[in-house]
Structure 1
Amino acid sequence: MPIIIHSKYKNKEEAILQLVADFFTKGNMIVKGSRNTIKSNFLGDEKVNIKFFQKPGLFKSIIYSFFRTTKAKRSFDYANYLINNHILTPFPIAYIENRNSLGLLKDSYYVSQQIDYDFTIRELIHDPLFPERNVILEQFAEFTFKMHEAKVNFLDHSPGNTLVVKKSSGQYEFYLIDLNRMNFKNLSIEERMDNFKKMWLSKTMVKAIAKTYAKLSSEPEDKLHAILLEKTTQFKRKITKKKYLKRKIGRK
């Protein structure tokens, strides 16, 4: 079971491997998904998360073994990129890839620090009366601008994938999670606004984010507002249509 460990944790290899070996019998369940499972446990005195990526089908196993990096490796590499560019994410500790004798991927694990967060962007989206909502939105827009400036296109930039930590009144920190779908390039203003579309923003929120992003980017506010509103509306229509068709097919 090959393991890649961050240099800060080199002396804890045996303990990390033991956490992985005990994954199915110990630890606290955080997420039990059809493809991935996340548990928390302790590495010494430090609370950590272990994300288990289940064995892919044969075709994907071949792809991930010989043509594309695994989700665990991408999570680790992308977290290091974010941290090196001063973008917060749970600190990457290690990743482990379990392969068979032919080198085909069986399953993999990603280990990172646990973040004790206060809420996610999802709670903010669904509650118009959320405390300091506009302040958080402005700071979230700044956080996303900083991410874009670092050439990060986070393809899963959705409400549940940003953890929020309240530092004090009016001061918040944002941490990206679920990192394995990213690419890195200079983003046009269209692409930057498109990156917000999965946030399911209301018209009021679109206005607030466009205003803040315009100040940071020196782009006209009305231009950003128009693009962001269009991208958001198109995405909502697409998802709503997909759900409608799914319901219709389900009734037949």
Structure 2
Amino acid sequence: MKYVVNTNYLDVQDFLTDCIINYDTKGENFGNQKRNSLRLFKLGAQTINIKSFKVPNIVNQIAYKFFRKSKAQRSYEYASKLIDLGIQTPEPIGYYEFTSLFLFKKSYYISTQLDCDLTYRELTRDLNYPEHDRILRAFTRFTFTLHERNIKFLDHSPGNTLIKKEGDAYHFYLVDLNRMEFKPMSFEERIKNFSRLTTHKSMVKTMSDEYAKLSGEDFNTVYSLMWQETKAFQDKSTQKKALKKKLRFWKA
């Protein structure tokens, strides 16, 4: 077992280790358990969130053991980097990894639990959500800030931005952080970064309008590219689902 714990939490390291060792029998299930498991644990008056990544396939077990950082390690390091760059995310607490002599097995990422008011997904499900336009434009400004700070969030999708209203302002927090790049982006890369967010043309128009104002680019140029990239992602996603359905049929 290998682990790294934030210096702010060294005094509760034994508690964290106990949570990891007894992960399957303690804590409370949280959110979608389909791909990876999330559980909540009480730490005094605070709640912490532990994400358990599933054991990777045999190729990646070798890769993560010898050549690549684990998803848990990347999540922890990227969270710390985001905070240094002035981008909000639940506070990173630590990560744990389990390996055998030649293979990588399980990994866990620990952060504080953030109780949000909504995620971007609610905006896609309810176009009449209160202050929909205002929140969407604020989200677009937040994404522009990511781009200006050379943050390419590869999993920029509906469930991965938590939104919290404080007073009259909306604040945005990134989660599911293991896939990121930190580099300057071309205009095309920036606009493509919106492609996974919504299928609604009206939302794409609003985001294009706000991004055009921020970037100084022409609205029609931004909108044309953003809608084109959105459609391309949706078409690819549809094809992927159809292929999976066929494979499941042949396996059955």
TM-score tier after normalising by the smaller chain length: over 0.9
With structure 2 as the length reference, what TM-score do the two structures score? 0.92
Superposed counterparts of 1:1-252, under 5 Å:
1-31=1-31, 33-100=33-100, 102=101, 104-169=103-168, 171-244=169-242
- Deviation at residue 32 of structure 1 after TM alignment: 5.5
> For residues 115 and 32 of structure 1, what CA distance do their matches in structure 2 show?
16
Question: Unpaired segments of 5 or more residues in structure 1?
Answer: none
1:16–1:43 CA contact under 8 A, matched in 2: no
2:62–2:102 CA contact under 8 A, matched in 1: no
Cα distance change, pair 203–249 in 1 and its aligned pair in 2 (3 A) = same
Task: Give the paired residue count.
Answer: 250
- Deviation at residue 250 of structure 1 after TM alignment: 6.3
Q: Counterpart of 2:89 in 1: which secondary structure?
A: coil
1:28–1:41 CA contact under 8 A, matched in 2: yes
> For residues 204 and 86 of structure 2, what CA distance do their matches in structure 1 show?
26
Q: Counterpart of 1:197 in 2: which secondary structure?
A: coil
> For residues 34 and 241 of structure 2, what CA distance do their matches in structure 1 show?
20
> For residues 231 and 8 of structure 1, what CA distance do their matches in structure 2 show?
42
The worse-fitting range, judged by mean Cα deviation, of 65-74 and 1-10 is: 1-10
> For residues 245 and 20 of structure 1, what CA distance do their matches in structure 2 show?
37
> For residues 32 and 139 of structure 2, what CA distance do their matches in structure 1 show?
28
Cα distance change, pair 67–188 in 1 and its aligned pair in 2 (3 A) = same
- Deviation at residue 249 of structure 1 after TM alignment: 6.7
- Deviation at residue 60 of structure 1 after TM alignment: 1.2
The worse-fitting range, judged by mean Cα deviation, of 146-155 and 133-142 is: 146-155
> For residues 199 and 90 of structure 2, what CA distance do their matches in structure 1 show?
25
- Deviation at residue 106 of structure 1 after TM alignment: 1.9
> For residues 99 and 31 of structure 2, what CA distance do their matches in structure 1 show?
24
Cα distance change, pair 5–103 in 1 and its aligned pair in 2 (3 A) = farther
> For residues 177 and 141 of structure 2, what CA distance do their matches in structure 1 show?
19
Give the counterpart letter for 2:27 in structure 1. G
The worse-fitting range, judged by mean Cα deviation, of 205-214 and 73-82 is: 205-214
With structure 1 as the length reference, what TM-score do the two structures score? 0.92
> For residues 145 and 43 of structure 1, what CA distance do their matches in structure 2 show?
35
The worse-fitting range, judged by mean Cα deviation, of 213-222 and 71-80 is: 213-222
Q: Counterpart of 2:128 in 1: which secondary structure?
A: coil
> For residues 239 and 99 of structure 2, what CA distance do their matches in structure 1 show?
41
Residue deviations 1:35-64, cap 9 Å, x none?
A: 421000112321010011122233211100
Residue deviations 1:189-233, cap 9 Å, x none?
A: 100110110002422111111111122222222211111111112
Residue deviations 1:58-95, cap 9 Å, x none?
A: 32111001110000000001101111111111110000
Give the counterpart letter for 2:124 in structure 1. I
Identity %: 42
